[in-house]
Structure 1
C-alpha cells in the first residue's frame, strides 16, 4: 500500500495518508496566521553566524598543472553580508568574504550572445597588469547570459517556502522577507502561479497555487505570516518540492524560493542530511533559490550549500533595497535559468604563463575529468546574468618568480620554449546544458596579446581588480601582496561612471579603511 505525505487543512500539519497518489493541496478559506510565541531555544543570546572555512587557492605551476577547472557561481550573498558588517562598524569574518561573490555582485558591460546564436552564453576575456603584485598579470574571464524581456519569459511555477520560526523575529528577518516577496508578487503575470508554504514546528500549505492575476490574494497570504516556534526545515522543503512537482510546467520555470536564516532545529539539521535531501529533490527538475536574512544566528554555510546542491542561487537580504535588486531588478536572472551545469576549464600556455592562481571559487573547484562528465553537477546561469573569474598570472621570464631556478632540471633553450609576448596566454572552454538537460554543449575562447597597464584597461577590468583587491584585504589574504585600501578605492573611483553600485563600492572601501585605521590590531573572527 503506497504512502505519501498529505496536508490536513487545519491545523497545517503533515500526516501519513493511505491510498492517495499526490499531495492534497487544500487550504482554509482564510490564509493562516502563525502565532508569535518565541521558541525558548532561539530567542535571547544568539550563537553567532556560521561560515564555511575557506582554504584559499594558491599558485599552481603550468608545467605540472596546465588545466584549471571549476563550476560557475552566480551567488552574490557575500557582498551584501560584507556590506552589512561594514555599515555596522565591523570588519567581516574572513570566511564570510567569498571573493567570487563580491566580483559577481556587479554588472559588467559584456557583449551578449548574438541574436542568431544557438548558445545562451558568450565568453569575453581581458589581460592587464595586476595592481597588487608588480610583474604579475590579471586575466579576466567574463560570461554573459542572454537577456530576455519579462514578457517573453516562460511561465513560472513558484513555491514560496518561508521560515516562520521564533528565530525569524525581528525587523531584519520575517518582515523583510514579507516585503521582499510582495515586491516579487507584483512582477508576476497571469500565466505565472505561486503557492505559499510556511514552516515552524511543522510545515503547512498557507496558499495553494494561485495565478499571478490574483495578486491581492497572494499579497494578503504573505502579510499574515508571523514568527513563532521551532524550525522544521527539512519537512518544509519536502512539502514545497511536493507542491512544485504536482504543478510542474514542462516548458516553464519551476522553482522553490526558500527564505530563512538557516537555523533549522527540527528534523534534518546536519549539512550532510540537508544536502542529501536537496540532491534527491533536484532530480525532479525543480530549482531552488535561497534568500538569507538576519544576523547573530545566520547559517550562511548551510544556505550556500542548499542553493548549490539545489541547482539554484543564494542571495542575502540586508535591507529592502537588496530585496528589490534581487527580486525585481534582477527578476529574470534570479528566477529563470537559461543554462545549467555550467563549467569552465582554462588551459594555460607554458610559453606565456609560468604560474597561475584562481581568485576565489574555492568551494567550486572540479577535477579536470569532471569537465567532460555531463553527470557532474555544476552552476546555473539565469537570464541576463554576468559571471566574472579572475586569474593572477606569473608570466614566463618574470623578474619575481615564485621559486628559484632549479639547478638540476633541464633548461629550455629552443626558441619555442623562450618567453614570448604574443600568441595565446590561455584558452577558456565552457560547457553547459539546457535547463531541461541533455548533452552538454562546448564553447571555447582564447586570450592573446599583451597585458595593458591597469590604468589603461577597461572600466570593467578596473572594477574587477578593485573588488578583488578589496576582498583580499578583508580576508587578510597571504596573497594580497602590496594591496591597500587606497589603491582599491582609486580603482573603484576610476571605474565608477554613473553606476550606483560602483559608487557604493568606493564608499564601502572607505568604511573598511576607517575601521582598520581605528583599530589596526583587530583580528578577523
Structure 2
C-alpha cells in the first residue's frame, strides 16, 4: 500500500508539469491552414493541424520550443514558456529557395519521464501511462528490411516476376519525415510506392480487359549507357453511380496509443470525408477495439450520415490494443451483411500497435488470408508517428486483397478517401501478376526498381493459388526496369564460374527487334481463374514522355533517399530539373509538393 501511495504521488507530481498547448495556424490570408506539422523541437513528437488549422499538443518540462513547418511556407520556431494558447501565421515562401528547414532531431542524453495525464481536451481517461523522452524522443516505429534489387544477367535469369503494388503509404510517410525536418529511414522508402503515389496520363482501356498496358523505353537519367523500360497499367474508371453497393465495416483503433491529436482526432475527421461519399444503397458499421472489441454502430444506410458522424464523434482513446479480437468481430459483421456482387470491405484505421491477442505478423497474416477467401477485402489506413508499425500494416493489406495508405494530414485524407475513392474502395482486378522475359541478344542485365517485397518465383506466375496485388477503379500502376544493353561494360555485371554438370551455352534466337515481352495475369474480383495478356516491347529508344520522365524523377529521389548503390552520379539538382520539366497538369498540387520535398531533402542532406 505504501508503494502504491508513492507511485501515485510521483504521477501527480509529473502531471503538474504536463500541459496542453493549442491554437490555430493561419496562412498569410487569414485562412486556417490544414496539415501543418507541429513538433516539439529536438524530438520526433508532434501533431498536425486539422482541416480548420487547429492543433493541440501535449508538452512537459521547461524551455519547450514548438516548430511549425509546412512545405511552401517559412518554418517558425516559437517558445512555449507559460502559454497554453499559441496562434501562428505562416508566411508563404515567395521562391522555393526561401524555404527554411529546421527542427532536426538532435542527439542528446536520454532523460526518460513517465507520467499520467488527464487529457480533458481530448476526453482521455486519467491514468494512461505515456512514455516521453525529452530531448531525444523514443522512436519505436517498425519497418521491414528492404534489400534493394540488384542486376541480374539475362543468360542466367531471363524472367522477372512480381506482383503489382498500388499502395502509396511509403510516399506520405516519407513526406511526414521531411516536413518534420528529418530524412526518412532507408527501410521506410519503398520506391514503387513513391512512383505509384502519382497518376499518369496513360491511355484508358477500350477492350474487354479492365486495364490498358502502356510501355516506353528511354535513356536512364543517372547513367546514359543504361536504359529504362516503363510498364504502366491504367485501370478502368467506373463512375461512382455505377459502382456496386458497398458493405463497409470501419474497424477503428481507439487504444491508448491512438490518443495523440494526429491519430484518433485526425482519423475521425478523415472518416467523415469518406462518409460524405456514401450513397443510400451503401451500408456502414463501426467496430472499435482497445482493451476489448465492440460494435459502436450497427449497419446503417449511407444516407443516414448524421447517425454515422455522431458515432464517430463519440469515440475516445484509452486501453490496450486487442487488434486480433477487433479484426475477427469486424469480419463477422461484414459477413452477416454480405452483399452478393457488391463491395464487401473492412477499413482498418490504426497506428499498427497491436499488442494484445493475435499480434504477431504470422498470426495476422493467416487470419486475413482466411477472411479474404470468404470475399471480404481489406483497406488499411495508418495514422501517427513515434510508435508507427508500418511493417504490420503492410502485411495486413497485402494479404487482405486491399490497399494501404498513410494519412498524415487532411489533404492526404481527401486524396485517398475522396479524390481516389473508387480506387481505394473498389477492386476491378485481383491477383495481378507481371512476368517479363528479356531478349538476351539486346539485354545483358536488368534490375527491377523497387517491388522488393512483391517479388514472386517464376513458377508462381501460372499458379492461380498464388496471391498477388489488386487494382482499383481508375488506379494506375507503374514499374520501371533499368537495363544494361549488350556490349556495355558495367561493374554491376558479375561473371560466375562455368558449370561442371551442364552446358553453359543457351540457345537463343537471333532477333534484335524485340527488347522484352511482358505477360500479365489477373482475375475478376470474384473469379478464381486468371486471364493472360501478352505484349511485346520493341527495341526502340525514343525521346521520353512526361509520364516516363516523372516516374524516373520520383525513382531517382527514392534512390537518393535510400543512398542506392545504383544512383551513380545522380544529384538532387538532377531530380529537380527532371521533375520540373515533366510536371505537366497538376490539378491537386501533388507534383508541385513533390518538387518542394526534393528541395527540402536536398538542403537537409547538405547539412548532415
TM class by shorter chain equals 0.7 to 0.9
SS of structure 1 residue aligned to 2:359 = coil
Q: CA deviation at 1:162?
A: 0.5
Deviations 1:333-369 (A, max 9, x none): 0000000011000010111101000000000000011
Distance 2:509 2:302 in 1: 63
Distance 1:145 1:65 in 2: 30
Match in the other structure for 2:112? none
Match in the other structure for 2:601? 512
Q: Where does 1:70-89 land on structure 2 (aligned, <5 Å)?
A: 70-89=162-181
Q: Where does 1:85-164 land on structure 2 (aligned, <5 Å)?
A: 85-114=177-206, 117-164=207-254
Match in the other structure for 1:425? 515
Contact 1:52–1:301 (Cα < 8 Å) also in 2: yes
Distance 1:166 1:408 in 2: 60
SS of structure 2 residue aligned to 1:262 = coil
Task: Indicate whether 1:436 and 2:526 are aligned.
Answer: yes
Task: Indicate whether 1:58 and 2:150 are aligned.
Answer: yes
Q: How many residues are aligned here?
A: 478
Instruction: Supply the RMSD in Å over aligned alpha carbons.
Output: 2.1
Distance 1:142 1:103 in 2: 11
Task: Indicate whether 1:445 and 2:535 are aligned.
Answer: yes
Q: CA deviation at 1:38?
A: 6.1
Distance 1:367 1:408 in 2: 24
Match in the other structure for 1:389? 479
Match in the other structure for 1:523? none
For structure 1, list consecutive stretches of 5 or more residues without a partner in the other structure: 1-33, 520-525
Match in the other structure for 2:434? 344
Contact 2:583–2:591 (Cα < 8 Å) also in 1: yes
Match in the other structure for 2:561? 474
Deviations 1:254-278 (A, max 9, x none): 0000000001111122111111211
TM-score (norm 1): 0.88
Q: CA deviation at 1:504?
A: 1.2
Contact 1:124–1:445 (Cα < 8 Å) also in 2: no
Match in the other structure for 1:211? 301
Match in the other structure for 1:36? 124
1:39–1:308 Cα change, 3 Å: farther
Deviations 1:92-120 (A, max 9, x none): 00000000000000000011110xx2211
1:429–1:42 Cα change, 3 Å: farther
SS of structure 2 residue aligned to 1:363 = helix
TM-score (norm 2): 0.76
Q: Where does 1:54-453 land on structure 2 (aligned, <5 Å)?
A: 54-114=146-206, 117-400=207-490, 402-403=492-493, 423-452=513-542
Q: CA deviation at 1:450?
A: 2.1
Moved over 6 A (4+): 404-412
Q: CA deviation at 1:518?
A: 1.3
Q: CA deviation at 1:404?
A: 7.3
Distance 2:497 2:209 in 1: 49
Deviations 1:435-465 (A, max 9, x none): 002210011111113223xxx3100100010
1:243–1:65 Cα change, 3 Å: same
1:274–1:510 Cα change, 3 Å: same
For structure 2, list consecutive stretches of 5 or more residues without a partner in the other structure: 1-121
Task: Indicate whether 1:494 and 2:586 are aligned.
Answer: no
Q: CA deviation at 1:43?
A: 4.7
Contact 1:163–1:231 (Cα < 8 Å) also in 2: yes
1:480–1:504 Cα change, 3 Å: same
